[in-house]
Structure 1
């Protein structure tokens, strides 16, 4: 006869042990998943990330360009002031030496005139008042002391100006170094991403970007006029030359460097950065239909990229690291302003 006894149930303690073991297994599995290597990004994902890094790199490059330009200006000002200070110190020494010579002659012949003694005192600022009240000053002596005081005042002012300029130069140098480090960081990050791809994948990204401008037809561009024509011709002559951040030609360029070089060929001096170039000439607005060949097109809200309009809705520019100077649609990026030089 079959037994109808119920199967023996596991003890409560055994159930607890099993539950704990299951929870531990789940936790270990979750930890293993968390520490597992992240999925390798696809070629398209890498391209998106690299494009973003290169745009950030260009922003840092323009900051670098601005700090470098300002630093060069400050060094020139500091050098000029140092020269002025040296000349002023020499003139001050000559005036003081003349007074000392007078005092020496008087001493040898019977004593120093009280007027000269006052002029050589440690507090010459009160000399004229004292000399006038005591009727001790001759016109020549008063004129000599005035010259001495004026030279000293001018020298002190120049020293203060030089100190302020040197302090600003220190700040500009710090900005320069920080921007340079930021550029190099972004380039390293983009290179690391590209190195995760196969050689064929890397070539398909970088090669495609470099060849894009070669397929644009520029055989029927509208003519430019005046120095704008010379600038357009110069810029187009550099198609295929590599982008290098901080470069102003003739064998490599960044975006603003290409504009500086091309307009210099036309005899026109432009400021170094895209942000400064966004303020030159006449504002044409943001509608590309109003642009003329030679106009500067400033892109993005922070004005970190610049190109030159060449007509037919096209522009020539130096895009970013890994690319070359090329022709592209003038509306591929958001336009901040168009400037007629």
Structure 2
């Protein structure tokens, strides 16, 4: 029986207990320091946090533009699918009417008994009258053949519409999967930036967020007359777009938003030109190709200015080396010098 007793646990002596406690604390520190994997990030200075957060915002913006492009294509596919289904329904209704007409013709033939015309002529007491009726019947037969041909063509057209709708639906589902992927990427980057910012004090966060607010403060105080009103634009459409951008100052950045109360970077420029009656694409990488490319030295108010190698950011130039743009979730729509970011090109859309 003694062989089945549970072995007694050895008591820890002082040195062993201290060693075990040290190892346990070290393990706990390692386990809790990882973000979901148990690793602690080193303590960062506010400047280092800002650098990392800015990098995350840029990565999020790249994913945002991909999301915007996929959404635009998904919206177009959804609209096309609706149109195809509506057209198929209209043709199906027309087909039903044609089939009813064929049914009437068939019923009439059945009632007439389908007697051979030669027999009818032999039995007729009035050959002239029969010949007239025979001619009418022949014309009715031609109409019947035409009706059958029309029905056959309508069926083929409906089948073609259904085939196109199936292809469009496949594209739509593919775009929706792409949207989901890009949305997950954007949210992941923004959440990571939020966690980094949470490690700063409220004062440090306010200081970082306020870096670009000096433009607005300066304008409010009248210290920079260049920002008080839009510089003269080359034409009415560009002037309207610039005025819209001024009206949007202070609006929050929300990724995927196109106004009127919130914007992302390309959403702001698209909304500004929409207000001017000019339709431009949704994404930065499509907007840069939407107008005439111009050198930096020839910028005029209303021109779109693009930044970074992947054309991931855009603003609207307002003169005096300044643009209005929607920067990132940490700051609202505001002024910024175009020298603030790596310049990638400019285009004139109006």
TM-score (norm 1): 0.78
CA contact (8 A) 1:58 1:304 kept: yes
Q: What are the residue-to-residue correspondences of 1:1-341 with 2, within 5 Å? A: 35=30, 37-110=40-113, 138-215=141-218, 217=224, 218-219=227-228, 222-224=231-233, 225-284=235-294, 287-341=295-349
Measured after TM superposition, the shift of residue 222 of structure 1 is 3.9
> Take 2:104 and 2:154, find their aligned partners in 1: how far apart are those partners?
19
| SS in structure 2 at match of 1:52 | helix
Gapped runs of 5+ residues in structure 2? 1-18, 34-39, 117-137
Change (3 A) 1:112 1:75: farther
> Take 2:115 and 2:307, find their aligned partners in 1: how far apart are those partners?
75
- What's 1:128 paired with? none
> Take 1:267 and 1:39, find their aligned partners in 2: how far apart are those partners?
51
- Residues 72-102 of structure 1, C-alpha deviation per residue, up to 9 Å, x if partnerless? 2111111111111011111222222222222
* Count of matched residue pairs: 294
- Residues 126-150 of structure 1, C-alpha deviation per residue, up to 9 Å, x if partnerless? xxxxxxxxx9994323321221121
> Take 2:41 and 2:67, find their aligned partners in 1: how far apart are those partners?
35
> Take 1:97 and 1:206, find their aligned partners in 2: how far apart are those partners?
72
Measured after TM superposition, the shift of residue 243 of structure 1 is 1.1
Gapped runs of 5+ residues in structure 1? 1-23, 114-134
Change (3 A) 1:112 1:59: farther
Deviates more, 1:260-269 or 1:210-219: 210-219
| SS in structure 1 at match of 2:293 | strand
CA contact (8 A) 1:214 1:326 kept: no
- What's 2:7 paired with? none
CA contact (8 A) 2:241 2:273 kept: yes
TM-score (norm 2): 0.76
> Take 2:217 and 2:178, find their aligned partners in 1: how far apart are those partners?
37
| SS in structure 2 at match of 1:194 | helix
- Residues 267-316 of structure 1, C-alpha deviation per residue, up to 9 Å, x if partnerless? 222222212211112111xx321111101112222221111111111111
| SS in structure 2 at match of 1:331 | helix
| SS in structure 1 at match of 2:340 | coil
| Cα RMSD (Å) | 2.9
| SS in structure 2 at match of 1:240 | coil
> Take 1:330 and 1:310, find their aligned partners in 2: how far apart are those partners?
10
CA contact (8 A) 1:288 1:330 kept: no
Measured after TM superposition, the shift of residue 175 of structure 1 is 1.1
> Take 2:327 and 2:41, find their aligned partners in 1: how far apart are those partners?
31
